[in-house]
């Protein structure tokens, strides 16, 4: 075996050992063992941005990425490498222009010129991986609007006038066109001289570049996540990302076993709006796809139905069909009192929920409920019978129940300022959390509190609730609230 052949074999074995991942470094088949490729995956700075400006310059898209597609070096070692000849190579990349790739090609030539007679593949791969960004002076944000251009080796079509043209041109127009072609030809020749034939742009269209880069970054992030160890904040066990889930928005990670048990419990109890990140003061919600993966199709079906019902309940223009055997959601017109069920076609009044009565008043107006209750309670047995015949026994009974319930709620509870649900305070501080919509509000003044720092309301000297976080709290067992002084 000649000295060059031995040097080539040793160099390729060393590179295969250094870059053990075949996705980064690999050699070709046994038919040509002296060729291969190296993918330089660059370490991007934190919060690296890529931006693209549309042609009309009215819209600029920007996105933070952690990974960009690699710069790929395809090489072949000639028989007289490294003693005489350098490696034959091409460079390809999706997000570098042909001029930038050509500059890298020249830099690889310079490295060979400085080390002629010695192996240079490791020097080339190290430069591409560790120094390419600084060499090309690439910084964030990276503008990719003009990366993919027409290849300068491609000839422009000739659009000059032909002798048989029926559209005559003046001599000034012909002279202007000729000068324009000459300038274009000079620029084209300049581009051809600065573009290296070994530079290959590995994407066919500028329109594809931005989505391709975002998709590559997404896939790489997921691959890294799956192979990384995380400590679950619930069970405190370390597990691979493939056994964990990450909440979108906050990126907090917990193991799938803990989250599956947590989600099943909440869905079984009907708390579909509580599938949030367990971290303190974090309100990031699990994506429905994540929920489906962890709880299975049967429980997810219940979750989906409850979530839909909760959404419909929060909409002021949605009401359920009053018929007990139907209950279909009905879209209401805010300017009309008529509601028509799309399923059973029942037409009803949106206020009294009885059969639609046109412009006639409802049987019992909402404003007359309290008056009707007092009148019924103070009536004689004969008068009560007459009222029951007029309004119906069940209607009177419902009015009484509703009005007493309303009195109790007014006395013992307060409405959530966000969704209007009644909240009863049993114990604890005056920072309240609505179990339905997860809104934070003050029990004393009813103001909505910040999710980021709800306690700032009680630390603000300008607030009427300043230092009143525990105002009104009954401390029945003083031992539980005793403050121990250090010995």
Phi, psi of 64 (to 5 degrees): -90, 130
CA-based angle 143:148:152, to the nearest 5? Answer: 130
Q: Which of 36, 25, 193, 204 is nearest to 106 (CA)?
A: 193
- The β-bridge relationship of strands 88-93 and 199-201 is parallel
CB 418 within 8 A of CB 434: yes
Give dist(CA 384, CA 399) in Å, integer. Answer: 14
Q: Which of 241, 314, 242, 251 is nearest to 284 (CA)?
A: 251
Question: Is 72 in a helix, a strand, or coil?
Answer: strand
CA quadruple 286, 290, 291, 295: dihedral sign: negative
CB 387 within 8 A of CB 374: no
Give dist(CA 226, CA 390) in Å, integer. Answer: 70
CB 109 within 8 A of CB 85: no
Q: Could you tell me where the beta strands, DSSP code E, fall in 223-263?
A: 229-231, 238-240, 244-246, 253-255
Q: Cis omega (within 30 of 0) on the bond before 82?
A: yes
Other Cβ atoms closer than 10 A to 191: 16
Kindly tell me the number of DSSP H helices and DSSP E strands found in the chain.
12, 20
Q: Could you tell me where the beta strands, DSSP code E, fall in 162-285?
A: 199-201, 229-231, 238-240, 244-246, 253-255
Give dist(CA 406, CA 229) in Å, integer. Answer: 53
**277 carries an active-site annotation:** no
- Residue 266 exposure: Cα atoms within 13 Å on the Cβ side: 25
Instruction: Give me the catalytic one of 362, 419, 429, 437.
Output: 429
CB 11 within 8 A of CB 20: no
Give the active site residues. Answer: 429
């Amino acid at each position: 075996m000649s000295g060059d052949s031995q040097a080539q074999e040793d160099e390729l074995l060393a590179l295969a050992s250094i870059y053990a991942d075949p996705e980064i470094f690999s050699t070709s088949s046994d038919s040509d063992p002296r060729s291969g490729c190296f993918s330089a995956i660059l370490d991007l700075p934190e919060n690296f941005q890529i931006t693209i400006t549309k042609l009309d310059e009215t819209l600029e898209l920007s996105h933070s990425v952690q990974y960009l597609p690699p710069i790929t070096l395809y090489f072949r070692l000639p028989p007289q490498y490294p003693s005489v000849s350098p490696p034959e190579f091409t460079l390809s990349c999706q997000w570098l222009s042909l001029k930038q790739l050509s500059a890298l090609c020249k830099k690889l030539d310079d490295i060979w010129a400085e080390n002629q007679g010695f192996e240079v593949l490791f020097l080339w791969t190290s430069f591409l991986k560790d120094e390419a960004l600084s060499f090309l002076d690439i910084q964030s944000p990276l503008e990719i609007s003009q990366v993919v251009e027409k290849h300068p080796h491609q000839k422009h079509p000739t659009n000059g006038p032909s002798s048989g043209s029926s559209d005559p041109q003046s001599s000034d127009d012909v002279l202007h066109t000729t000068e324009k072609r000459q300038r274009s030809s000079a620029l084209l020749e300049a581009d051809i001289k600065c573009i290296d034939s070994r530079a290959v742009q590995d994407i066919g269209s500028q329109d594809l570049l931005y989505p391709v880069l975002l998709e590559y970054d997404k896939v790489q992030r997921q691959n890294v996540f799956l192979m990384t160890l995380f400590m679950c904040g619930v069970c405190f066990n370390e597990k691979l990302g493939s056994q964990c889930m990450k909440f979108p928005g906050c990126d907090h990670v917990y193991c799938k076993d803990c989250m599956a048990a947590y989600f099943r419990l909440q869905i079984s109890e009907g708390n579909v709006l509580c599938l949030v990140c367990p971290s303190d003061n974090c309100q990031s919600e699990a994506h429905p796809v994540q929920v489906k993966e962890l709880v299975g199709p049967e429980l997810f079906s219940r979750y989906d139905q409850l979530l839909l019902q909760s959404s419909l309940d929060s909409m002021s223009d949605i009401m359920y069909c009053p018929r007990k055997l139907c209950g279909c959601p009905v879209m209401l017109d805010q300017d009309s009192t008529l509601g028509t069920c799309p399923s059973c076609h029942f037409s009803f009044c949106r206020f009294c929920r009885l059969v639609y009565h046109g412009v006639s008043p409802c049987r019992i107006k909402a404003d007359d409920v309290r008056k009707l209750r007092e009148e019924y309670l103070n009536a004689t047995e004969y008068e009560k019978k007459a009222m029951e015949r007029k309004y119906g026994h069940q209607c009177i009974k419902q009015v009484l129940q509703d009005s007493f319930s309303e009195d109790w709620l007014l006395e013992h509870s307060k409405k959530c300022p966000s969704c209007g649900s009644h909240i009863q305070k049993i114990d604890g501080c005056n920072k309240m959390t609505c179990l339905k919509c997860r809104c934070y509000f003050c029990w004393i003044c009813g103001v909505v509190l910040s999710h980021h720092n709800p306690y700032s309301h009680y630390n603000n000297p300008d607030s009427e609730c300043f230092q009143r976080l525990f105002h009104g709290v009954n401390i029945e067992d003083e031992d539980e609230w005793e403050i121990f002084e250090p010995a």
